[in-house]
Structure formats: C-alpha cells, structure tokens
Structure 1
Amino acid sequence: MATSLPDPSGPAATGRTDTPTIPRRRIIIASLVGTSIEFYDFYVYATAAISVFPLLFFPKGNEGAAVLASLATFGVAFVARPIGSVLFGHFGDRIGRKATLLGSLLTMGIATFLIGLLPTYQQIGVFAPALLAIMRFCQGLGLGGEWSGAALLTTETAAKGKRAWAAMWPQLGAPIGFFFANGLFLVLTLAFGHDSTKPLFDGPFLTWGWRLPFLLSIIIVAIGLYVRIKLEETPVFARAVARGEKVKAPIGVVFKRNWVQVVQGTFIMLATYGVFYLMTTWVLSYAIGSPAQGKLGIGYGNFLILQLIAILFFAAFVPVSGWLADRFGRRSTLLVITGLIIVFGFCFGLFLDRNAMGTGASANLGLMLLFLCVGMALMGLTFGPMSAVLPELFPTNTRYTGSGVAYNVSSILGAAITPFVADALVQSVGVGWVGIYLAFMGVLTFIALWFTRETRHRDLDTLEDEVATVAVATTSP
C-alpha cells in the first residue's frame, strides 16, 4: 500500500514536530531500560556459551568441538530473530508499538529465566543441549521483535532534526546490557574462585553459580514491564491509523513494495553485526581458549576486566554517532565509519597473532586492551545511527516489520555464523584471516550505503523530503 500525504492541516504539513502526549524523558527511559534488559539477557547467554555451556551441556571430549557446538546453539537465536521480527512486526504494524514491546520483553525474559533452571548433560544427556537450543530460539524471537519497537518508539516521537540523537538511546541498551552481563559473570567468577584454564566441575561456580545471572533476569524484566506499561502509541502511528493505512499482512506488503529497502538495510547492518560479535563472543573464545588449540590461554577473569573497560568505549561513541548522523547525514557518516572498519579488519594479525600477543601468563594484556577499545569505539560509531537509518527506509504501516526484517536477517549473515566461521579460520589458516573476513563484510556494507539515498530529512509520514512535503501541502488547492 502506498503511503498517502498527510492532511494539509496536520503536523507534517504545517512543519510542526511530533509532540508525544507523554514526557520525552519517559520515552527515553522506556526505550533504554527495555533494550538494556533484552541485550543483558542475550549477552548473558553469549558469555556462558564460551565459558560454561561447552563444559556442562555437551559431551566431554574434544575441547574445540565442544566450543563449536556451543557456538552453534548460540547461533540458533539468529535464525529465530527474523521470525520474531515478522511475528512481532505483524502486531506492531497492526495493533501498535506498545503492546508488541511488552510481548517481546516477556518472551525474552521468560526464556532467559528458564535457562537458569535447565539440567545439564550429566543429568539428562542429549536433552540438555536440545532444551538449551529451544530456549535460545525463544530468546531470538524476543529480541527479533524488541529492537524495531524500541527504535520506532524514539524515531516516531523525535523532535525535528534530532531523530538520530533520539534514536541512539535504545542503542545504548546494547553496551549497558553487555556491561552488566559480563560484569555479573566477573563478580561471580571472582567470588567463587573459578579459573577457566583449570575448571572445577564440582566447584560452586559450575555447580550453581553460573545460573544466577539467568535467574536474576526475571526481576529486571518486571522492572522493564512497569516502565513500559505507561507508554502510549507514537503520533506517527496514530496518524497512519487515522488515515486508514493499516494493512492486513505487513510482511507481504514489505516484500512486494519495499524489498529493495530490505536488501539495503540488511547489508547496511552487516559490518555492524560482524564487528560486534567478533569483539565479544569470538574474541572471548580466542582469548581464553587453550594454547594447544591455537588460542591465547588468557585467564577468564582477566579478560572480562579488559572487555568491561572496552565496552565503555562502545557506550561513549554511541551518542557521538547520533550527533554526527544528525549533523552530517546518515550516509556520509556511515561511509566513513565503514571504511575505518575495513582498515581495522586488516590489522587483526598485527594485534592478535600469537607471536605479537604472547600466550598464557606472558600474554600482552595492554595490546589486547588496545585492540578491544578500538573495535568497541568503531562499534559504537556504526551501531548508533542504525535505529534511525533502518526505520527511515520504510513507510509507517510496514515500518515495524520492514526495519525488523532487515535488522534481523542481517544478524544471520553478520552475527550467527561469524563466531563459528572465525573460530574455524583460526584453527585452519590463522587469526589474520578473521580480520579479512570482517573487511569483506565491511566492503559489502560500503557498497550498500553507496547505493542508498540520504534519509536525514525524510518525513516519516510520507517518506518524502520534509521541505518538499510542506511545499506540496501548502500550495495545493
């Protein structure tokens, strides 16, 4: 369905900005708290997929095979995420953003809590990894619906000229969630004296301590629900409903009318996903893995401290990217940042080769910290504008579905297989090729950005330039 021009007397025609009836501060808090909880749940699993699940949920034997199997269950969520974006996107475009955001939060929270209750392989055999994969799938469904709703909540209520700045708030949920997920694991490993290089299967951490971050999620989910239940629908969505623009099957309309934008959005996000999951999930497995497996053998606790420091750079550069995207445009900003990601990819060997880094107690932790901080700074710069860029590609009546599908299909290409491929590359041809793999994803993103029009001045009601929309409306008879 084509998106019609708004009524000439409406806000878009007169040049007025969208003014939500609830305070903007509450909108910011609701989007930030919700995405922080969702990403916390998601990253708690990512951390455990390297440090806990290979030991407890898969048969004992080859260490490398157990890690790859654990990473495979980690990737299950990324298969679920596009399904979640279609499911929650359907309701988000049909009945509204608020109810869908509540549903996605509950889906993620309940699945995370249940992971903390699962029996291990030693208790129920192959059913343990099977149940783990099912819960991971449910996590993916929840996050698949969460991101789009939070992004639309902020973009569709943003002040004029400040849309990228408003949209960066839910993006901050990623570093916040990651910080608390890893921070809690660090506290637990220190409190229980867990050493990843010499794990004690009958020690308190592997016996029950690892479950605490999953079980605690139910409390913070309740907080998130309390914050979000007071929300109202966005004015952009309300006007679309008033104009009679709702469609029966948003996913069908997206692939009929906006398939080009889905492809563009998918590849625009590709390098962002690649750099993040290399800098978090894969690098954790490479850093703490056994030198006998071609890895570094850094202590788990020591590496978590480095990651927690680096994640601050991620958080610091998200607002910077929002300001840059409003000031210089989304396309120009992301083209420069993607170019830097490509260059960074070619530097992996200089940072991470074992001859340069060292292994075990002699590993150069300062060099590792530099590598992590550079990567996380680039992640903040590329991730920050995405919650403005992707929604701006789609009309209101399919925006939830369209932006969600692009975002989450990209997660399969850039995130689901990335830790698995990277680990295989290390074992076969060396760590430098992991960076080349990232550079390749960066090139694909650069091409997608090059052929995408600038969206900074688009009116979300019409997807036309805001100045042109006002001119047409005011000169019409």
Structure 2
Amino acid sequence: MNRKGRVLFASVVGSIIEWYDFYLYGTATGLVFSTLYFPSNEPAVSLLLAFATFGVGYAARPIGSVLFGHLGDRWGRKAALIYTLVGMGGASALIGVLPTYEQIGLLAPILLVLLRLFQGISLGGEWGGAILLATEYAPKGIRGLYGAIPQLGVPIGLVTGTLSLSLISHMTTNEQFLAWGWRIPFLFSVVLVVLAIWIRSGIEETPVFRQQRDSGDIARIPFVETLRTDWKNVLRAIGLKIGDGFFNVFAMSYVLAYATVYLGYSRDVALNALTIGTATMLITIPLIGYLSDFIGRKRIYIGGLAALFLLSIPYFTLISKGPNWFYFMEAAMLGIVWASVFATQGTFFSELFPPKVRYTGLSVGYQIAAAIVGFGPMLWTSMAQAVGPSPWAFGGFMMLGIALSLVLAVTSPETRTRAYSRLDLEAPEAKESL
C-alpha cells in the first residue's frame, strides 16, 4: 500500500471505530439503557431519560471541536487524532463494565452520562481531523473523493455496531442479552482502538499542515482566531448542517425506538432496515464524492437537500406501511438522498476555512449543529406521546430544518476550485476563485 493509500486507510479506520462506539451507544439507548439505567413504570419516561443522555453526547461535541481543534491547528492533525481514539475507546470500554441502576442505584445513570460526555468530546475532535487527514493529502482534482472516504466511517461504524448487537441478540435470550450480552460490543472496541492507534502512528503529518508550520503562520489561539476572522463561515456551516442533521439522527438512531415503540415493528425488523440503509451508503458516498470533483459540491448539496425536503412526509408515511416499505425508504432516503449530502459535507465545509484555522473552523461549525440536532430524540419522544407517529408532524419538523439549510446552500459559494494550501495559490483556477 502506497503512502496516500495508508493515509486514507488511517482516516477511515479511526473514523469507523469512533462512529462504531458513538452509534453503538445510540443503538443501545432504546434497546437497553432505557430499561437498565433509567427504569420507570412508564416506558415513555424511561425512553425520554435515556435519550437525554444520548443528547448529552451530542452536546459535548462542540467542546471536543474546540479542544482538539486547538491541538490540531497548533500541533498537527495526527496528534489530535491519536487522542480522540484514546478518549472514545476508554469511555466505551468503561460503559461495557458499568453496573446497572439495580446494582448501584442513582450512581449508574450519573456515570453513564459522564462516559457519554467523554464519547461526545472525543468525537467532536475526530470528524474534522479525519476529513483533513484525507483532504490535505489529496492529489489535485480529486479532493472530493478523498474527503468522502472518511465519511464511510459513519455507515461502516453504524453497521458494525448494530450488527454486533443484532448478532448478540440472536445468540442470547432476552434475559441474557439484558444481563450481559449487550456489553460485549462495547468491550470489543478496545481491540479496535488499539489497532487504529497503531495504524495512525505510522503515518506522517499532512503536507498542508507541514507547510503551515514551516512558514511559522500558526494561530496562537485557533478558536479565537476563527471567531475573529471566519465567524461567518462557522455560522454558515452550522446552518448547512442543521437540516440534514435532524434527519440523520432520526434515520440512523431514533428510528429504532420509533419503529419498535410507535409503529409496532420487532427489534429485528428495525435493525434490518437500519442496516440496509447504511449499507447502501457504502456505494453512494464514494461515487458522489468523486462526482463532486467534476460538478462541484454546491450543486450536489442543493439537490440532496431539495430531495430530502420534498420526500420528508412521504418517508414517514411509507415506513409505517410494512417491513418492505420500511426497508425501501431507509435505503432510498438514508442510503441515497441523505448520503449524497453527507458525501460532500466534509470537503465542502473544510474548503470554507484557511489552513491556519481549518481544523477548528470545520469542527466547531459542524459540531455545534450536531449538538443542536442531538436533542431531536427528546423532542420526537414528546411529539409521539402527544400526536402519535404522525407523518405530517414528523415530516413537517424535518422540512423546517431542511428549508434553512437549503436557503444557505443556495447562497453559499462553490468551493471546488478554491485554494486549499499555499501551493494552490499559484494555480490560475485558484486565483480566479478567490
């Protein structure tokens, strides 16, 4: 494997493990944590409390974006990405051995929330760093393809996490699954993290950061510098992410609770639908990332958001019509439409910021939006209690957020030909785009 191949592998393998751990928690929230750590005579109350801890992980992600953005913009992308793996892996392993509410009482949910905070902080630094590890090594003309590769960590991590829980579920009785079976995937993350750290330790710092460091043009406090010089693009990134972010959280996490509690599907059907949707993304993401190198990020982004907007109500209408419709809509909406937006997102957002504050700007904008949409499950649980699984209520909710992102996408610049490093400034097409 050549150097660029190793870099791409390092970017995606770490991303897979981070998202495996993060979404493993999300999958376990509706299936396990609501029962073992937030027991209540009212199932909706248990579910609401459990998803509050799920939201805490999202809320912590901006903290990680500032912390690891500082490290990544001052000391290098590689160093930051080693620490994100340690934080996520350690938190997940501890969740795997955490006593339940029945065993230690109120301390159990408190510790679970703290460990979820550490997960969120770690992921807040991982995503932006993985994108930069790939795009700052990308050959000229295929940055979109390279930027799409780390995005594969989301579907692969989620599929791996959900399949691991599904496999354990099939191999155990319900009592065994709740007693010890669910812990195995969390403990297995230790093995994966050690592997990822070994792989990332063997790569060099990105050429773009080395140029920046050699020039001495390093931000003293990257977060302050970002807010001083690029605050408009931070706000732009937040708005661009809000719309598809709410749909993403629903279709990749909350859908398990929504389908089993409110639509009456079995746990296996819900997990199968999610697996089909995420597996479809494995094909869509690299293809769309490569396409964006020819027609631009903006055009694809607008098209994806427009399709999400138009199909929001049909999605919620059809997923209740039976397992086959459920499977089809997850594949179409999550695996194709949303994946088209997500495939371009990392590259698009990174191109909004200069190298000096790119890690911080990219991460802060994305993760603030993630913190907002992470509390969607709490809102949706309350909505479902009030109006049931109404396609108009849930679809209308999605359309509001998507409309905001769509307006911002239309008014955003096309970034495909923007200068990405000091050497790019010499390219005629880069000068024209400045």
Q: Could you say whether these structures have the same fold, taking a TM-score greater than 0.5 normalized by the shorter chain as the test?
A: yes
Partner of 2:247: 275
Among 408, 423, 426, which residue is 2:381 paired with? 423
Judged with a 3 Å threshold, the aligned counterparts in structure 2 of structure 1 residues 438 and 465 are, in CA distance, closer, same or farther, namely farther
Deviation (angstroms), 1:469: 5.0
Identity %, equivalent residues: 34
Are 2:197 and 1:225 equivalent residues in the alignment? yes
TM-score, structure 1 length as denominator? 0.87
Structure 1 segments of 4+ aligned residues over 6 angstroms from their partners: none
Number of aligned pairs? Answer: 429
Q: Which amino acid aligns with 1:188?
A: I
Deviation (angstroms), 1:267: 1.2
Larger radius of gyration: 1
Structure 1, unmatched stretches of 5+, are: 1-20, 195-202, 290-294, 358-363, 473-477
Judged with a 3 Å threshold, the aligned counterparts in structure 2 of structure 1 residues 413 and 465 are, in CA distance, closer, same or farther, namely farther
Partner of 2:140: 160
1:390-449, Cα deviation, whole Å (9 max, x unpaired): 1111111110000000110010222x1212222222222342111111111111111111
Deviation (angstroms), 1:315: 1.7
Tell me the C-alpha RMSD between the 2 structures: 1.7
Are 2:306 and 1:339 equivalent residues in the alignment? yes
Partner of 2:178: 206
Contact kept in structure 2, 1:458 and 1:466, CA below 8 Å = no
Query: CA separation in 2, counterparts of 1:101 and 1:204?
Result: 36
Are 2:21 and 1:41 equivalent residues in the alignment? yes
Query: CA separation in 2, counterparts of 1:64 and 1:380?
Result: 31
Partner of 1:365: 323
Pairing 1:230-309 to 2, within 5 Å after superposition = 230-289=202-261, 295-309=262-276
Partner of 1:29: 9
Query: CA separation in 1, counterparts of 2:427 and 2:243?
Result: 30
Query: CA separation in 1, counterparts of 2:432 and 2:317?
Result: 55
Judged with a 3 Å threshold, the aligned counterparts in structure 2 of structure 1 residues 471 and 49 are, in CA distance, closer, same or farther, namely closer
Query: CA separation in 2, counterparts of 1:464 and 1:455?
Result: 14
Among 342, 347, 351, which residue is 1:383 paired with? 342
Partner of 1:138: 118
Among 383, 394, 416, which residue is 1:456 paired with? 416
Deviation (angstroms), 1:259: 0.3
Judged with a 3 Å threshold, the aligned counterparts in structure 2 of structure 1 residues 172 and 469 are, in CA distance, closer, same or farther, namely closer
Deviation (angstroms), 1:79: 1.1
1:19-55, Cα deviation, whole Å (9 max, x unpaired): xx96111011101101000000001100010100011
Query: CA separation in 1, counterparts of 2:219 and 2:372?
Result: 29
Contact kept in structure 2, 1:57 and 1:120, CA below 8 Å = yes
Contact kept in structure 1, 2:44 and 2:381, CA below 8 Å = no
Of Structure 1 and Structure 2, which has the larger fraction of its residues in helix?
Answer: 2
Partner of 1:317: 284
Query: CA separation in 2, counterparts of 1:66 and 1:288?
Result: 15
Pairing 1:457-476 to 2, within 5 Å after superposition = 457-461=417-421, 466-467=427-428, 469=430
Contact kept in structure 2, 1:275 and 1:375, CA below 8 Å = no
